[in-house]
């Protein structure tokens, strides 16, 4: 059964009518804009697959997913994948499920490692040209579990001045964070070491031979925070979280902003900082002249 367009008459059997209620209730001005929005998710494991499902059910127009891994039986303590999908690439398995949930969504699925030269170039191209009509993607979300992949996404997004969200769940599954990165305006991944990785050596953030704990609860909560902030970002309502950190044992949340580091080791980050600072200066001068 095909989804009816959100602009069509609201009927109870239309899955969009409940979403459009957000507009009638004054939460969002223009919910149907979601159909023109595109999100690129790197890593469709425990967090990324659930994020992708949420965005698909929210009526997103286009989704691009990257992952280099296959579905394994060991993944069954998480959400989304099923035992029937064991052996399939995660991106193909995800694409099949997501497309059946919402036949109107456009999905590009890449079984690729984004830290290789080819993978990185591919990622740059899809960020620049992977949007709904071949334009720039609206948002990149990192749901990977290692330092190298996060740094690759950071480098790509600094270079392209692309807004992105980073996320992570700790090895013991008892804490998690999401972080919103606006190049030049908030800290990038290289500016400051994020909470979840504070105690690890930066090159072994995913420690070899250590079997990380994982809980579908912490991963689902993290995916929910990412999806909620993605909606706020794409549809321009509410306030963005910037760094949102979750401690599961205490049910404690913190929410704060990290300014960019003027001595960040990424030159593209320092360039974005200079550009945004001079833009701010221009805006102030313009206002003074008026
Ligand atoms: P575990 O390590 O606990 O078995 P996992 O590997 O599924 O779990 P998750 O944290 O659930 O890890 O998901 C992270 C996802 O990011 C994985 O599916 C992984 O394949 C993907 N990923 C990590 N690095 C890259 C990369 N360089 N390119 C593409 N995908 C990546
Ligand atoms: Zn930086």
Tens-place pLDDT, residues 16-70: 788 888 888 889 989 999 999 999 999 999 999 999 999 999 999 999 999 999 9
Global pTM value = 0.91
Of residues 11 and 138, more confidence is placed in 138
The C-alpha atoms of residue 144 and residue 141 are separated, in whole angstroms, by 9
201-214 confidence digits (pLDDT tens): 444 455 656 677 88
Q: Give yes or no for residue 155 CB within 6 A of ligand 1.
A: no
Over residues 59-84, the pLDDT tens digits come to: 999 999 999 999 999 888 889 999 99
Pocket test for ligand 1, best of 145, 168, 211 (most atoms within 8 A of CB): 145
pLDDT score recorded for residue 206: 58
Q: Candidates 53, 64, 69, 156: which one to mutate for ligand 1, based on the most atoms within 8 Å of Cβ? A: 69
**Of 102, 76, 81, which Cα lies nearest the Cα of 91?**
81
Confidence at residue 194, expressed as pLDDT on a 0 to 100 scale? 55
Q: Write down the residue that tokens 């280099």 correspond to.
A: 68
Per-residue pLDDT band at 151 (split at 50, 70, 90): very high
Return the ligand 1 atom nearest residue 44 CA.
18
Ligand 1 centroid from CA 264, angstroms: 27
| Tens digit of each residue's pLDDT (9 = 90 or more) over 127-149 | 999 999 999 999 999 999 999 99
Q: Of 58, 157, 188, 211, which residue is the catalytic one?
A: 211
CA of 289 to the centre of ligand 1 (A): 52
Please give the residue that has the higher pLDDT: either 166 or 194. Answer: 166
Q: Is pLDDT at 10 greater than 60 in this prediction?
A: no
Indicate if ligand 1 lies below 6 Å from the C-beta of 40.
no
Whether the ipTM is more than 0.90: the answer is: yes
């Amino acid at each position: 059964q095909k989804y009816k367009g959100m602009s069509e008459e609201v009927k109870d059997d239309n899955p969009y009518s409940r979403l459009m209620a957000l507009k009638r209730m004054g939460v969002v001005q223009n919910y149907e804009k979601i159909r023109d929005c595109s999100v690129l998710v790197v890593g469709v494991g425990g967090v990324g697959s659930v994020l992708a499902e949420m965005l698909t059910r929210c009526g997103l127009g286009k989704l691009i997913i990257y992952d280099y891994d296959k579905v394994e039986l060991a993944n069954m303590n998480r959400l989304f994948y099923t035992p029937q999908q064991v052996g399939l690439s995660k991106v193909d398995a995800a694409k099949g499920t997501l497309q059946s949930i919402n036949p109107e969504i456009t999905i590009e699925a890449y079984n690729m490692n984004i830290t290789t030269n080819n993978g990185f170039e591919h990622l740059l191209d899809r960020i620049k040209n992977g949007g709904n009509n071949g334009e720039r993607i609206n948002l990149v979300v990192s749901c990977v579990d290692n330092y190298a992949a996060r740094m690759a996404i950071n480098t790509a997004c600094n270079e392209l001045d692309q807004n992105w969200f980073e996320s992570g769940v700790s090895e013991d599954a008892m804490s998690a964070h999401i972080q919103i990165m606006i190049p030049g305006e908030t800290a990038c991944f290289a500016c400051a070491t994020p909470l979840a990785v504070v105690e690890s050596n930066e090159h072994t953030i995913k420690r070899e031979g250590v079997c990380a704990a994982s809980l579908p609860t912490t991963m689902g909560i993290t995916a929910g925070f990412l999806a909620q902030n993605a909606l706020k970002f794409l549809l321009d309502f509410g306030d963005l979280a910037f760094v949102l950190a979750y401690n599961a044992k205490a049910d404690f949340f913190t929410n704060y902003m990290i300014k960019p580091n003027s001595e960040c080791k990424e030159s593209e980050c320092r360039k974005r900082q200079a550009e945004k600072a001079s833009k701010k200066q221009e805006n102030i001068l313009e206002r003074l002249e008026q």
